[in-house]
Amino acid sequence: MTKKIAVLSGDGIGPEIIGEALRLLHAVAEKHALQIETEEALVGGIAYDETGHPLPPETLALCKASDAVLLGAVGGPKWDNVQPASLRPEVGALLPLRKELGLFANLRPVTLFPALADASSLKNELIKDGLDILVVRELTGGIYFGQPKERTSERAVDTCVYTRPEIERIARVGFEAAQKRGKRLCSVDKANVLETSRLWREVVMKIALDYPDVELSHLLVDNCAMQLVKNPSQFDVIVTENMFGDILSDEAAMLTGSLGMLPSASLGATSGTGAKTAFGLYEPIHGSAPDIAGKGVANPLATFLSVALLLRYSLDAEAAAQTIEAAVGKVLESGLRTGDIASPGQRTVGSREMSDAVLQAL
């Protein structure tokens, strides 16, 4: 059966990295005899410029009719002051996409390729045994979505809300991910202060009874932030709420040397049910990088690794996913670098040359 993939290039370097990613996707599909079709649509600032809205109805309809979504990046200085604020690309496109598509589980693998050990912000002795962490972030609850939200000239209110079902479903995603990895799950909260965190911990401990093969631990978010830079190898899977996950996953990303190396998957309703595949939106976490847009120097590897996640979680094509990850590793071992992951004095290449090398490594 042919799988349909909605392609949303977006703004900034989005069109460049997605263009290279589509070359890779079709090459891998041919190599592994996968039947796929892709269809592109507007999203973000460019969509606002052309249609008056960063998430046009036809784009949302395409996403809902697809098996997966591949996203580049949205936003940039050009649209920072759009009024009303609800029409800014990050607010008017990303948040509604997550809500309308039911994308509640954000998975961010934090993997340090051995060839990039010198680019990590950590000392070599802390990462000598490698680094392989999966951050599972709840994506549709918490302070980003809680009501009421209010602001006057003297006062502002953001409300943090979580319900038992919301915590249960993200906890199951975390436990099931841990079962397929090192069977260790660390739940991160702020249970010493917040009522939402006390409910979070209570629910996670109850769900743990269904996964006796997974070792569960708990950390307060401030301690977790410290432990990530003190002893990152202690972690296997981290599960946490929306805002904590937003902060911790970016911190963890820098342990790998560059945001340009980190993919992400945002999964929908079938996640946490033991199903083989889930609808998902896949994107690099580095943003639109408008300062380098159009220069052909953007690192495409985070997007390539996002394609691997798409193959793994939405197409049940594990062998194809591993092919991409192995090819990226091989190219890095060869010494090829884009500017963001290069050591001082090291020769760098652009997006196309890096892409060509990965395609050849397939």
pLDDT digits (tens, 9 = 90+) for 184-196: 999 999 999 999 9
Of 78, 132, 144, 183, which is the active-site residue?
144
Q: Which of 162, 190, 282, 313 is catalytic?
A: 190
**Residues 63-74: tens digit of each pLDDT:** 999 999 999 999
Domains of the chain, CATH where assigned: 1-103+265-362 (3.40.718.10), 121-255 (3.40.718.10)
- Of the pLDDT bands very low, low, confident and very high (cuts 50, 70, 90), residue 115 is confident
Taking all residues of the chain, what is their mean pLDDT, rounded to a whole number? 93
Instruction: Please state which of the ranges 78-87, 165-174, 250-259 shows the lowest mean pLDDT.
Output: 250-259
- The answer to pTM > 0.85 is yes
Question: Any catalytic annotation for residue 222?
Answer: yes
Instruction: Report pLDDT for 113.
Output: 85
Alpha helices, H only, the chain:
14-31, 45-51, 57-64, 89, 95-100, 124-127, 164-179, 195-207, 221-230, 242-254, 301-313, 318-333, 351-361
Q: Is 49 considered catalytic here? A: no
Q: Which two tokens stand for residue 58?
A: 């036809």
271 pLDDT above the threshold of 80 = no
Section 333-362 average pLDDT? 92
Quick one: pLDDT at residue 118?
A: 75
pLDDT at 179: 95
Mean pLDDT of 352-358: 97
Catalytic residue, chosen from 11, 67, 189, 246, is 246
132 catalytic residue (yes or no): no
SS3 43: coil
Candidates 132, 158, 250, 316; catalytic one: 250
Q: Report which of residues 28 and 99 the model is more confident about.
A: 28
Active site residue 80: no
Average pLDDT over residues 268-278: 74
144 is a catalytic site residue = yes
Amino acid 116: pLDDT: 82
HSE (CB half, 13 Å, CA atoms) of 261? 28
pLDDT in tens, 310-346: 999 999 999 999 999 999 999 999 999 999 888 888 8
